[in-house]
Amino acid sequence: MGKIIEAEKVGYIYQSKYQKTKALTEVSCSFEQGRVYAITGKSGSGKSTFLSLLAGLDVPTEGNLYIDGKDIREIDRDAYRMNRASVIYQAFHLFPLLTVLENVMFPMQLQHISQKETKTRAQEFLAKVGLPDSLYGKMPNMISGGEQQRVAIARAMASGGQILLADEPTGNLDSQNERVIVELLCKLAHEENYAVIVVTHNEKVAEAADVVYGMLDGALEVVRG
């Protein structure tokens, strides 16, 4: 299976008005479709910064990051996020004023897919993540955390990309919901051929991953895989 993302001595420096902070140092790794990757580490170790780079929200200040073999600096990163990579957050970050269904429809609307098809596909994605259709018309704050995270995963899938980036996806969930979400992410990788990259400090999540990277003070090392 080919490498979908490849990091080559990636470094990142936060530059504020008064100081420079090195968040990542010579991070080199690669990610393939059909596998679940876990990146573990303490808070402030650089996990989220790395995820931000993988999501194309920023570019490395040092080294290179390749997406499908192309330097991330040279691709349309907005299009990349719209079509290839999606991010799932710990706090779900659904649109609070859109219904569950509308939240899932949103990425497809950006791609100018017809309203009818958008709706049908959104319902399919919601079914895939196991959300009962009685919840489709509800507002995010009316459903549980686990359900919200499933909606977030369905929305990520709706963008059509095969790269799923998750930032502490189970951080706000109880153990039962945590298990459901982890199983769902693994299923997406193994059955739907997604490349799932999870930033977590949850050991159970890391255990379920195919590859585990550890991050310490901005440096990445393979823990298992």
Partner 1 sequence: MKNSLKQMMRTPMRTALFLILMVFAALLMTLGTCIWLKGISTMAQYEDRFLTIGTVRQVPDSFEQTLEWNAETKDYEVIKRAQYTSYYTTEELLFPDAEYLAEPEQRAFYTSYVPEYLMYNNSINPNAIAWNLIAEFSPLEDCMPDESVQIKITKVIGGDERLEGAVDYFCDHTNPNPEMLYKDKTYAAILNSGFYIHGKAYDELMKSKNEVHIGLEYIPDSLESGLRLPDGGVVENSFQDGQKIFEVTDGFYETDAGKRFLNLGKLELAWKYCQPVTGTNKTCLLMPFYNGQAYICEGRDINEEEYASGSKVCLAPKTFMKNNGLSLGDSVKVQLLLTDTRMNAGRKFWLDGRVGFYGGLIDTAGEPLEVFETSEYTVVGIYDVTVSGEDSIFDPGADELIVPMESIEARDGKNLMACGPMTNATSSFQIPNGDIDEFLKGWAEYGTDKLELTFYDMGYSQLKAGIDNMKKLSLCLLAAGVILTLLLLFFFSHLFITKQAERTAIERSLGMNKAQCRWSILSGFVLLVLLGGMIGSMTGVKLSDRFSVENTGEIYYDETYTVKTANKINEIEVEEAAATGPTAVFCTLLIAVAGTGIAWSKMNKSLRREPMELLSERQEA
Q: Does 148 bind partner 1 (CB under 8 A)?
A: no
Of residues 109 and 210, the one with the C-beta less far from partner 1:
109
- 93 interacts with partner 1 by CB under 8 A: yes
Residues 127 to 146: which contact partner 1 by CB under 8 A?
none
- The verdict on 102 binding partner 1 (CB under 8 A) reads yes
Stretch that binds partner 1, among 59-67, 106-114, 117-125, 128-136 (CB under 8 A): 106-114
Contacts 24+ apart (CB under 8 A), 111-116: 111/82, 111/83, 111/159, 111/160
Q: Using the rule CB under 8 A, which residue among 25, 48, 162, 177 binds partner 1?
A: 48
Phi, psi of 104 (to 5 degrees): -75, -30
Interface characters, 164-203, with partner 1 (x: CB under 8 A): ---xx--x--------------------------------
Burial of 8 (0-12, 13-18, 19+ CB in 10 A): middle
Q: Is 57 in the site for partner 1 (CB under 8 A)?
A: yes
| Binding track over 4-43 against partner 1, x by CB under 8 A | ---------------------------------------x
CB of 78 to partner 1, least distance (A): 4
Check binding of 98 to partner 1 (CB under 8 A).
yes
d(CA 184, CA 103): 19
Taking CB under 8 A as the criterion, the residue among 155, 163, 211, 218 binding partner 1 is 155
Q: Which residues bind partner 1 (CB under 8 A)?
A: 43, 48-49, 51-52, 55, 57-58, 78-83, 86-87, 89-91, 93-95, 97-98, 102, 106-107, 109-110, 155, 159, 167-168, 171
